[in-house]
Every structure is written in structure tokens, then in C-alpha cells.
Amino acid sequence: MSSKALIAYFSRAGDNYVGGSIVNLPVGNTEVAARIIAKLTGGELFRIDPIKKYSNDYTTCTNEAQAELRADARPELTSYPESLDTYDTVIVCYPNWWGTMPMPVCTFLERFDFSGKTILPLCTHEGSGMGRSESDIKKLCLGAKVERGLAICGGSVKSAENDISSWLNK
């Protein structure tokens, strides 16, 4: 793992589906994973934060996310890193929404040239794994080396440090 790593993550607090129930999370599962990665790597955290917020209500949020996916939307973000030039590795963390990453992650990925960089995808989910997100990242980030991702069950993320560490050290 290069010491020059950016951990770009999209996470949503509020009502989330965890272990078969809707649970109100003060911190989204993907943010928990991103913070574990930052602790393990010393990498810099960057939150992928859309200007238009998703509903706190789980069902409404899933409907919003599905509509964005169908429209191939690129929601504008509140901010972007000035440059990725100082990073060799970008760890992209996101929940699985409708079989891939949320559309704000696509907005982030399309903003930069990832040629020559290594991308490590990490996906939180409740049974759907990585979905097609790895192949979607490869399509958006031509010239990047996209490594095999890690899928973590969101309900288990707080106890996933060993799994994350093993994945990072491969």
C-alpha cells in the first residue's frame, strides 16, 4: 500500500437496511469502513457529498437512488479534491445501491484522470456483494489499475478491521 492514498467515500447516515431491519444509523456503515482504512493506512479521507441530500427515509431514498440510476444521473457534489496528482492509490468506498455504486460516486470518478493510478473499491452491502461496481469503475476510469474489491456486510462493518487490513495488504 502506497503512503500516498486518498480514501474517497460516499456514505449515508439515517434509516438504513441492516440485518433485515430498518435501523437509524448516526454514522453510515461505509463511513465506518472508510475511517478504519484511514486508521490503517494513514490515508487522507474525502467525503463524496452530493449537494442534493437523499431522504432520511429508507424507502424514499431507495426510490431516489433508483431514479438516478435509471437516468444515469451525475449529481453535483459539494466539493472536489483540488487534484489527485499526489495520490498513487485511491480507495473508493460506497454502499451497493441497485447493484452498483451510488451515482455521486460516478460524478467523483468522472471528474478526474485516473491513468496510472491504482483504485481499490470497497463496498458495503446487506447481501448483494460488489454487484457490477468493479466493472463500472473500470469503464469510468480508463487507464487505472482497478484491483479486486472488498465487499463487507454493513451490519458487520464495525468488526471488519481484520478483513480490511488483510485486503489492503494483498
77-89 pLDDT, tens digit per residue, is 999 999 999 999 9
Residue whose C-alpha cell reads 437512488 in the numeric block: 65
Q: What's 126's domain CATH number?
A: 3.40.50.360
pLDDT at 1 over 90: no
| Domain tally, the chain | 1
Helix, coil or strand: residue 125: strand
Q: What share of the chain is helix, strand, coil (3-state, %, to 5)?
A: 35, 25, 40
Show the domain range for 57: 5-168
Q: First vs last Cα of the chain: how many Å apart?
A: 9
Q: Are strands 21-25 and 14-18 parallel, antiparallel or unpaired?
A: antiparallel
C-alpha 135/C-alpha 139 separation (Å) is: 6
- Confidence grade of residue 3 (pLDDT, cut at 50, 70, 90): low
> Above pLDDT 70, what percent of the chain?
98
Helix, coil or strand: residue 91: strand
Number of H helices, E strands in the chain: 5, 8
- Confidence grade of residue 56 (pLDDT, cut at 50, 70, 90): very high
Query: How many Å separate Cα 131 from the centre of its chain?
Result: 13
pLDDT at 33 over 70: yes
Residue 113 contacts residue 83 (beta carbons within 8 Å)? no
97-126 pLDDT, tens digit per residue, is 999 999 999 999 999 999 999 999 999 999
